[in-house]
Amino acid sequence: MTPSSAGALTISDGRLALSGLLILVNVGLSAALRLGLGRSLLVASIRMVVQLLLVGFVLEWLFQQDQAPLILLVGAAMAMIAGVSAVQRTRHRFAGIYLNSLLSVMASSALVTGLAVTGLIRPQPWYNPQYLIPLLGMVLGNTLNGISLGLDRFMDGLRSGRDQVETDLALGATRWEACQAVVREAMIPTINSMMVMGLVSLPGMMTGQILQGAAPAAAVRYQIVILFMIASATALGVFGVVGLAYARLTSADHQLRLDRLVRPRGGR
């Protein structure tokens, strides 16, 4: 390995190929325990390598562009993929769930990332893809997971707590009063994830900057900004999508509408 112009060590093609041997540990464990996961692990590894190499080529090209519409279009496409992917992970669906997810992802990520690049980090120009795209990607990845988990937890909570919710409604509670506890439970995973950020693992951006030669103190400052961005965007996204789901699965007459829930074909 040789130092790159940016200060980090460059991994040669041969050493990159050798790193693939590490997956044989997983394959060996699968074989020893007769889990039957060896083939799946190898296929997943190949797909991961191909996808990351393609992403690397695309980002290298994108970082050379200086056209705001093109860069914003790429960001919008990333947000759309995240919104669709979040719904694909849920066990139940309802009419409009994809639109709800897209709106929540795009609104929260655009607001938080926009404020960060224009008011906190301030790259020149503000749409500099070397800053905007990685920041947006980290926000979207975490928001996607939060929305998926929050939606699933909310819909499962309504189904498992149906008797309690309907009893409260029958006793005169509004739909919000009856569903408030379920909404709160749907938000708990997001809050819990915020509490352990930076404690259970060395965050990705901080690690990358240190490997690039940045001083740890400077890397920490960037990572603190990122963690606040992730926490804010995830909370906004989850609250938005759960709020929209609440409006869809209850009626203005204060009734529970679980008849609108369906299982996707081939779902769990």
**Highest mean pLDDT (candidates 31-35, 42-46, 76-80, 222-226):** 76-80
* Separation between Cα atoms, residue 56 and residue 77, nearest integer Å: 17
Would you state the pLDDT for residue 147? 92
How large is the average pLDDT for residues 213-236?
83
pLDDT of 82 over the 70 cut: yes
Beta carbons within 10 angstroms of residue 187's beta carbon: 17
Q: What percent of the chain has pLDDT over 90?
A: 41
Cα 253–Cα 255–Cα 257 angle in degrees, nearest 5 = 125
Residue 159 DSSP SS3: helix
How large is the average pLDDT for residues 153-172?
92
Would you state the pLDDT for residue 16? 82
Going by pLDDT thresholds of 50, 70 and 90, the confidence category of residue 24 is confident
Q: Is 147 in contact with 241 (CB distance < 8 Å)?
A: yes
- Sign of torsion over alpha carbons 138, 139, 142, 145: negative
Would you state the pLDDT for residue 7? 59
Count of residues making up the chain: 268
Residue indicated by tokens 């769990």: 268
Would you state the pLDDT for residue 1? 44
Q: How far apart are the first and last CA of the chain?
A: 46
Per DSSP, the residues of 190-217 read HHHHHHHTTTSS--HHHHHHHHTT--HH
Going by pLDDT thresholds of 50, 70 and 90, the confidence category of residue 245 is very high
Tens digit of pLDDT for each residue in 41-81? Answer: 889 889 988 988 898 888 889 888 888 999 999 999 999 99
Amino acid at 224: I
Would you state the pLDDT for residue 195? 63
| DSSP category for residue 251 | -
Cα 164–Cα 166–Cα 168 angle in degrees, nearest 5 = 70
Give the range among 85-94, 139-148, 183-192, 205-214 with minimum mean pLDDT: 205-214
* Separation between Cα atoms, residue 132 and residue 14, nearest integer Å: 32
Could you tell me which residue, 196 or 215, shows the higher pLDDT?
215
Q: Nearest CA to 179 among 197, 193, 204, 162?
A: 162
Would you state the pLDDT for residue 2? 44
Could you tell me which residue, 207 or 236, shows the higher pLDDT?
236
Mean pLDDT of the chain: 85
* Separation between Cα atoms, residue 102 and residue 81, nearest integer Å: 9
Q: Is 263 in contact with 155 (CB distance < 8 Å)?
A: no
Q: What percent of the chain has pLDDT over 70?
A: 89
Tokens encoding 109: 């990520």
Q: Nearest CA to 121 among 230, 234, 222?
A: 222
How large is the average pLDDT for residues 98-109?
95
